[in-house]
Amino acid sequence: MSTSFNYKHLYYFWVVAKEGGISRAAEKLDMAVQTVSAQVRELERSLGYALLKPAGRGLVLTEAGQAAMHQADLIFQLGEDLPARVRDAVSTPAVRLSVGVCDGLPKLVVHRLLRPVIAEPNLHLLCHEGELDDLLGDLALHRLDIVLADRPAPVNPNIKLYSHPMDSSTIGWYGTPALVKAARKDFPECLSEVPVLLPTAHTAMRGRLDKWFEQRAIRPRIVGEFADGALLKTFGASGMGVFPAAEWVHDDLLAHYAVQRLGPCEGVTEHFFAIGTEKKVLHPLVQRLLQPAP
């Protein structure tokens, strides 16, 4: 686009196109016809295309004019919205919290961890899900206020990170009523016979589960592995297999997925951490997240 492009010229063209002629546009703008006409010609010159052509006693858009009009509609609609947006921003300033969520962290757990701040008036919550290393990179660049994870931050000589323990949960086995009924008589040995769904090895939980199976000499009949915890639960709720889940969100789990608890995964605990760049947290909402539950 030419450096001579001028949004005022675009506005005059926009009014001319809406009014269907330069005279009517000049009357609406309370300007001389010659001035409006000159402004539109200047826009056409800067763009390199004719935007209007005569049609009867008025003007109609050329193909280039139609394209320009579409963009002008978008631009000036945004302009019309600007005063209200500025007014709203001043009268009700948003409280922004940008959170990175490790993809191995169960979604119901994330919701519960964030519950202390959800009712904050004018909260603007931004949640970004991804692999832990990527999220820690964004945290170091101050694109995130905090990262929620199922493990503490790894030692990194280039980035000073602090892992704040938030909570923990025992693990239980869950499944559809039919699977639970079939498996309950011989639990947990039955996990070598009934279909089992597990998180993939990239989660902190998988290593603990593998050790739990090994200690009990159980060779699980694994029929599915999922990187996403919500997807694992969705397939488990469909009857594909029994699955492990944090008992901390037992009630939410039963309400959302219509499953039943089969039994405990004794000795296995899932831990939840908030990872930040400050040893002493300054963000007031993050401070609230880290306060012990009453």
SS3 sequence of 35-54: HHHHHHHHHHHHHCCCCEEE
* 237 pLDDT more than 50: yes
Spatial distance between the Cα atoms of 34 and 36, rounded to a whole number of angstroms? 6
**Lowest model confidence (mean pLDDT) among 66-80, 182-196, 211-225:** 66-80
Spatial distance between the Cα atoms of 13 and 4, rounded to a whole number of angstroms? 15
**Lowest model confidence (mean pLDDT) among 35-39, 57-61, 205-209, 258-262:** 57-61
The predicted structure's pLDDT at residue 279: 79
One domain, residues 137 and 282: yes
One domain, residues 16 and 140: no
Return phi, psi of residue 290, to 5°: -85, -5
The reply to whether omega before 152 is within 30° of 0 (cis) is no
* 262 pLDDT more than 90: yes
The predicted structure's pLDDT at residue 218: 96
Mean pLDDT of 209-216: 96
One domain, residues 163 and 278: yes
The predicted structure's pLDDT at residue 88: 66
- pLDDT level of residue 79 (50, 70, 90 thresholds): confident
The predicted structure's pLDDT at residue 92: 63
* 149 pLDDT more than 90: yes
Stronger pLDDT, 50 or 56, i.e. the higher one = 50
- pLDDT level of residue 2 (50, 70, 90 thresholds): very low
One domain, residues 216 and 265: yes
First-last CA distance in the chain: 60
Read off the pLDDT of residues 125-134 as tens digits, 9 standing for 90 and up. Answer: 999 999 998 9
- pLDDT level of residue 74 (50, 70, 90 thresholds): confident
Run of H or E residues at 118: helix 107-118
* 76 pLDDT more than 90: no
Spatial distance between the Cα atoms of 68 and 61, rounded to a whole number of angstroms? 9
Return phi, psi of residue 244, to 5°: -85, 150
One domain, residues 178 and 263: yes
One domain, residues 160 and 279: yes
Please check whether residue 237 is in contact with residue 176, taking contact to mean a CB–CB distance below 8 angstroms. yes
* 290 pLDDT more than 70: yes
Return phi, psi of residue 52, to 5°: -130, 150
Could you tell me if residue 2 is inside a domain?
A: no
Could you tell me if residue 1 is inside a domain?
A: no
One domain, residues 183 and 199: yes
Could you tell me if residue 232 is inside a domain?
A: yes
The predicted structure's pLDDT at residue 73: 87
- Average pLDDT of the chain is 89
Residue 253 sits in a domain whose CATH number is: 3.40.190.10
DSSP symbol at 106: -
Stronger pLDDT, 247 or 4, i.e. the higher one = 247
The predicted structure's pLDDT at residue 233: 94
- pLDDT level of residue 1 (50, 70, 90 thresholds): very low
Mean pLDDT of 257-286: 91
The total number of structural domains that make up the chain: 3
Stronger pLDDT, 106 or 280, i.e. the higher one = 106
* Domain termination residue (choose one: 47, 68, 91): 91
One domain, residues 100 and 42: no
One domain, residues 205 and 223: yes
Name the residue range of residue 253's domain: 170-269
The residue ranges of DSSP E strands in the chain, in sequence order, are 52-55, 58-61, 95-102, 123-130, 146-149, 162-175, 195-199, 221-226, 243-246, 260-276
Mean pLDDT of 263-280: 92
